[in-house]
Amino acid sequence: MSGQRVCVSDFEEEARKVLPKAVYDYYRSGADEQNTLADNVAAFKRWYLVPRVLRDVSVVDLSVSMLGQRLSMPLCVAATAMQRMAHPEGETATAREEAGYKAIFVTVDTPYLGRRLDDMRNSFQLPPHLSMSNFSTASLAFSEGNYGNDSGLAVYVAKAIDPTLCWDDITWLKKHTILPVIVKGILNGEDAVKAVNYGVSGILVSNHGARQLDGVPATLDVLDEVVKAVQGRCDVYMDGGVRRGTDILKALALGAKAVFIGRPVLWGLACQGEKGVTEVLELLKEELRLAMALSGCRSVSEVSRSLVRKLDFTSRM
């Protein structure tokens, strides 16, 4: 790619050119008609920022406290599978020098795998030199095999995931760990209240990158509902469609304690390994810093609900 990478879409375009089609399609695609996939991004355009001026923004502090840990910014790397398809070093490059478990995230929206049509068309499976090394049994290795016309991942997940999981399993997990437990995949206030009542420390508002059930709301559109439902009794985070610093700022204004990104990290990894991941994170960090400064916010604690308003489409009829 010629020219400098100056935004997340530049990284995606370069990644599209260097990745095998089946791998790019796997990372990029959503479920069924991909309406929610598009809406996750479009949702940020339905909210606009209302900046304050003359606030002395010569110093802007992006740091936040998350589950007792101090972070340099309210932006985290989401869980994304099979990163070695993007770069030989895979997850090792993404997490270089920053490994160490501080909490347990439980994905709660995947009793079955969503219908990902591109994966079905490509009969997607792991390249022959890769396997799921965290599973030692041959039946759960998800290596090269004959999966017919289906997605190899769909066949694998059908064997590997237990659809009987329920809220009582959260209770069981909490009895077996002293780490905070965060549930990933909540999209409504009712489930959010239930999660709090089961003692979780955090909720990640997520629709799994729009890869499970097409037609669900964009995560930004339900963030406000979840935040109001939990009433400060646990942290609320969100992922889905975050592509620029202003997106992060809007999510923070709607009550997210931090924002997670998945695909942008994969694009950076595909472009240049560890250096590419760092570039994406630094790019978004500086975009957020500028967005906060131009909005009159000198620290994350100054970001409030009054900073955003939703576009009123009815008034334009």
The answer to the question of residue 3 being in a domain is no
Residue 13 has pLDDT above 70, yes or no: yes
Task: Indicate the range of 26-40, 72-86, 209-223, 283-297 predicted with least confidence.
Answer: 72-86
pLDDT single digits (tens) 264-302: 999 999 999 999 999 999 999 999 999 999 999 999 999
The answer to the question of residue 140 being in a domain is no
DSSP state letters, 91-128: HHHHTTT------EEEE-S-SS----HHHHHTT----T
The single residue listed with the structure tokens 């599978």 is 81
The answer to the question of residue 298 being in a domain is yes
Q: What is the pLDDT of residue 197?
A: 98
CA geometry: angle 19, 214, 205, nearest 5 deg: 85
Both tokens assigned to 160: 């590997």
The answer to the question of residue 152 being in a domain is no
Task: State the total domains in the chain.
Answer: 1
CATH at residue 278: 3.20.20.70
Q: What is the pLDDT of residue 174?
A: 97
pLDDT band at 96 (very low <50, low <70, confident <90, very high): confident
The answer to the question of residue 232 being in a domain is yes
Residues labelled as active-site residues: 208
When mean pLDDT is compared over 36-45, 75-84, 115-124, the highest value belongs to: 36-45
The answer to the question of residue 270 being in a domain is yes
Residue 140 has pLDDT above 70, yes or no: no
The answer to the question of residue 47 being in a domain is yes
The more confidently predicted of residues 175 and 317 is: 175
Residue numbers of the domain that contains 198: 8-111+162-308
The answer to the question of residue 155 being in a domain is no
